[in-house]
Amino acid sequence: MKKLINGVDDIVSEALRGMAVAHPDLVEIHLSPDYVVRRGAPFDGKVALVSGGGSGHEPMHGGFVGLGMLDGACPGAVFTSPTPDQIYECTTRVSGGAGVVHIVKNYTGDVLNFEMAAELAQGDGIEVHSVVINDDVAVQDSLYTAGRRGVGTTVLAEKIAGARAEEGATLTEVADVVRKVNGNGRSMGMALTSCTVPAAGKPTFELAEDEMEIGIGIHGEPGRERVKLEPADRIVDRLLGPVLADLPFRSGDRVLTLVNGMGGTPLLELYVAMRRVAEALGEYGCRLERTLVGSYITSLEMAGLSITLLRLDDELIRLWDAPVHAPGLRWGV
C-alpha cells in the first residue's frame, strides 16, 4: 500500500490538523470528537447546515464548510459513518437559534447516526430537519444501503442550501430546497481501478487491466456490471443514459452538470468526458446552463468518474450563482 500517511489510525485527525493550519480564516477544527465548523459560527438567526459521512471522499464534506455552504461537517474514519455524539456536538456547536438542517447521504450507518444525533439535539431544544440524499440511479439497494445511495447531488445540495440559508430563509425553506435538489438530481459513476482503504491495506476489489465497473459506489461497492474498457465517449453515454431516463430529464430542461473525478483521474480526462456530456445533452435537447468539473466527491485514489445532472429552475440558478467561500470549492463555480 503506497500512501502518504503516518499511522493508519491517525490519518483523519492529522488531515484535520492540516486543514486547521491551511485554512484558519475559513474553518475551525475540533478533535475528539472530530468536526469542522465555519469560522465565526454560530451565526445568530441563521439556519445552520451540517453534513458528514466517512472520510476518504475529500473535499466532501469538510472542504465545503464556509461562507455560503456548510456550517459544520463531521468526518468519520475512512468510509465509516460519524458517531451520533460527534454529529450531536457539531450540531449544538453551530446552532444559531434558527434550527439546523442535516444533509445525510443515504447509507444505513449515516442515516441511523444522524437520526440519533437529531434526537439528542432536539432534546436540547434545537430544531433539526434532516434530508436524505439518494440520487444514485445505478442500483436500487446495495451493500450499505436500503434504497439508492447518496452521491454527487450531495455536493450540489450543500452549495444551494448554503446559499438559501445565507439569504435568511427559514428552517423549513432551507430543508425544502435540499429536498428540491435531491428530487431533481440524478447520478451514476464508474471506476477504472479500485481504491485501497488504509486500514485494510489492500485494494477493495480487483479489476482486470481491460475491465471497468459501471455503476460503482463511492466505497468501491459493486455497481451494475463489469465490462471491457471502452472509449471515454461510450463510457459517458453508458452513465448519461440511465441518469437522463430516470428523472426523466426532458427536452428543453435546463441542467447543471457535475463531472466528478473519483480521486485518481486527471482533470484532463474529466474535461474529455465533459465535452461528450455537453454534446450528448445537446442531442437530447437539454440546455447545459451550469457546470462543475473536478474531484469533489472522491473515493480515495480510485480512478473513474461520476456524472450528476440537476434540473434547474430560476431559484436553483440564483442559489448556485451566489457567493461561496470554502476550502474545497473552485472559483469556476
Residues with a known catalytic role: 57, 219
How many other C-beta atoms are found inside a 10 Å radius of the C-beta of residue 98? Answer: 20
Nearer to its own copies, 227 or 333 (CB): 333
State how far the alpha carbon of 203 is from the alpha carbons of 145, 206, 231, 266, 300, in Å.
Answer: 21, 7, 24, 20, 11
For the CB of residue 197, give the shortest distance to its own copies in the complex, in Å. 12
User: What is d(CA 260, CA 138) in angstroms, rounded to the nearest whole number?
Assistant: 16
Give the one residue of 116, 227, 288, 317 binding its own copies; rule: CB under 8 A. 288
Largest CA distance in the chain: 56
CB 95 → its own copies: shortest distance, Å? Answer: 25
Instruction: Give the nearest distance from C-beta 147 to its own copies in angstroms.
Output: 28
**270 part of the interface to its own copies, by CB under 8 A:** yes
Q: What is the dihedral of CA 221, 222, 223, 228, to 10 degrees?
A: 120
Amino acid in position 197: V
Distance CA 145, CA 111 (A): 10
Does the footprint of its own copies cover residue 291 (CB under 8 A)? yes
Minimum CB separation of residue 110 from its own copies in Å reads: 18
Q: Is 21 in the site for its own copies (CB under 8 A)?
A: yes
Which of 116, 275, 317, 318 is close enough to bind its own copies by CB under 8 A? 275
Among residues 143, 271, 287, 313, the one that binds its own copies under rule CB under 8 A: 271
Contact criterion met (CB below 8 Å) for 138 and 189: yes
Is 185 an interacting residue with respect to its own copies (CB under 8 A)? no
Selected binder of its own copies within 98, 156, 273, 312 (CB under 8 A): 273
Q: Is residue 215 close enough to count as binding its own copies by CB under 8 A?
A: no
5 binds its own copies (CB under 8 A): yes
User: Segment contacting its own copies (CB under 8 A): 33-41, 58-66, 94-102, 173-181?
Assistant: 58-66
Which of 37, 117, 188, 329 touches its own copies by CB under 8 A? Answer: 329
What are residue 303's phi and psi, to 5 degrees? Answer: -95, 135
- Contacts with its own copies by CB under 8 A: the residue count is 69
Contact between 243 and 237 (Cβ < 8 Å): no
Considering the complex, state which of residue 186 and residue 238 has its C-beta at the smaller distance from its own copies. Answer: 238
Asked whether position 19 contacts its own copies by CB under 8 A, the answer is yes
Stretch that binds its own copies, among 125-133, 164-172, 220-228, 231-239 (CB under 8 A): 231-239
Alpha carbon of residue 239 to chain centroid: 18
DSSP codes of every residue in 22-81: H-TTTEEEETTTTEEEETT---TTSPEEEEEEEESSTTTTGGGBSBTSBSEEEEEEETSP
Give residue 141's identity as a one-letter amino acid code: D
Q: Write down the residue that cell numbers 480512478 correspond to.
A: 303
Residue 200 as a binder of its own copies (CB under 8 A): the answer is no
- Give the residue from 9, 34, 10 showing the smallest Cα distance to 199: 9
Interacting residues toward its own copies by CB under 8 A: 2-7, 11-12, 14-19, 21-23, 26, 55-56, 58-59, 63, 66, 78, 192-193, 209, 212, 229, 231-233, 235, 259, 263-275, 278, 288, 291, 293, 295, 298, 300-301, 303-305, 324-333
